[in-house]
Amino acid sequence: MKIRVEKRLEIPKYAGILVPVISVFAALLIMGVILLIFFIGRHGTLAAAFGKTVEAYQEMLSWPFTNRYGLASTFMRMVPLAFVALGLSFAYKMKIWNIGGEGQLYMGAMASTWGAIFLFKDITSPFLMILLLSICGAIAGALWALIPALMKAYAKTDEIVVTLMLNYVAIFWVDYLVYGPWKDPRGYGFPGTAPFPEQAKLPTFFDGEFHLGIFTAITLALILFYVYKKTSWGFNSRIVGDNASAARYSGISVRNYTIIALVVSGAIAGLGGATQMMGVQHRLQHGFSPGYGYTAIIVAWLGKLNPLAIVLVSFLFGGLLVGNDQLQMFYKLPMALISVFQGLVLFCLLGGEALFKYRLRIDREELLDNE
């Protein structure tokens, strides 16, 4: 008998769901081991560390999903994640690696703040105000993504590092504004702008535990689902991503597709920034995002770029961010824990997909042939 590893001719359908689910559990397990080692360093004995790890996991996984307040925070954190991840999926469909979601989110937030406290401050209709601020956010995100888009389309500049560098620039730009010209004169020196007027705040539901943003995110996901599955854009963008020269031969302008993919991607992230301002923050502040733009990369991947799955995964990751906050408060664990988890999930996901390309095959005749 001989066991051979061979390439599968086709990857079974169930792998698409099985691998992400197993990846999340595997990543939780490995992170548990890392936490255990960390707690051994802090508490000395294995038994004490094990107890702490179990306790921390219970806190992290139960509070965000079962407790009423925890659940409200989970929904609140889910919204920006969903927006940015949906935006990223639009570019990733074409294998354009936009990792500038964070910067596009910041620019969207910045532009909606500009609208709310300066440009449209005399508009009293909440409907008109919210519409205008959303448009401001989307345009700012789109323009921020236009920079790498034009560079990629016209000079083939690699978008990965450019989009990432623009995150830093956007964050420093917002810092400049909130520490400088936009600082609230009545803010006691606190780095933030004046609060949004009432008509620029999103309507809330259930005692203010949800804001309208969650519904716009779900609507957006449905629209994108339709676009990806049923329109020629969805079909063509996949061709461009898989084989640019094939796309060119069939008359698709790769250049235009590249620009549109990045710009729409940025617009959605920017809309997310505006939504976050209008729904939760109600003022622009230094460091208002705990890295939503980076977590969204994992959300998009884990959701396999399917918009509906992305909404579900952003709920899960919203919860993990909330759980991480709890750990930070009660166990003095850093926010970085979420990065550990993200890295592990990504590896498990990719490793799982790679392994699924192969299968074990057991040959029984081999022995006879050899004799």
Between 7 and 68, CB nearer to other proteins: 7
* Residue 177 or 214 having the CB closest to other proteins: 177
Q: What angle do the packed helices 213-230 and 232-242 form, to 10 degrees?
A: 70
In the complex, the smallest distance separating the C-beta of residue 357 from other proteins, rounded to whole angstroms, is 9
Minimum distance from residue 169 beta carbon to other proteins (Å): 5
Q: How far is the CB of 133 from other proteins (least distance, A)?
A: 24
In terms of CB distance, is 176 or 190 closer to other proteins?
176
* Cα–Cα dist 83/233, whole Å: 20
CB-facing half-sphere around the CA of 356: CA atoms within 13 A:
19
If the CB atoms of residues 280 and 346 are measured against other proteins, the closer one turns out to be: 346
Angle at 307 between CA 337 and CA 151, to 5 degrees: 80
Which residues contact residue 239 at a Cβ distance below 8 angstroms, ignoring those fewer than 6 apart? 246, 247, 250, 252
Provide the residue type at 232 as one letter. Answer: S
| C-alpha distance from residue 357 to each of 5, 26, 298 (Å) | 10, 19, 21
HSE (side-chain half, CA atoms, 13 Å) at 153: 17
Q: C-beta of 208: minimal distance to other proteins in Å?
A: 33
Q: Which residue has the tokens 């920079």?
A: 147
190: number of Cβ within 10 Å = 12
The residues of the shown chain that bind other proteins, judged by CB under 8 A, are: 7, 34-35, 38, 41-42, 97, 99, 147, 151, 154-158, 160-162, 164-166, 168-169, 172-173, 175-176, 179-180, 294, 297-298, 301, 332-344, 346-347, 350-351, 353-355
In the complex, the smallest distance separating the C-beta of residue 174 from other proteins, rounded to whole angstroms, is 9
Judge contact between 129 and 122, C-beta under 8 A.
Answer: no
Closer CB to other proteins, residue 187 or residue 343?
343
**What is the C-alpha to C-alpha distance for residues 70 and 288, in angstroms, rounded to an integer?**
19
Q: Which CB, 209 or 353, lies closer to other proteins? A: 353
Q: How far is the CB of 72 from other proteins (least distance, A)?
A: 26
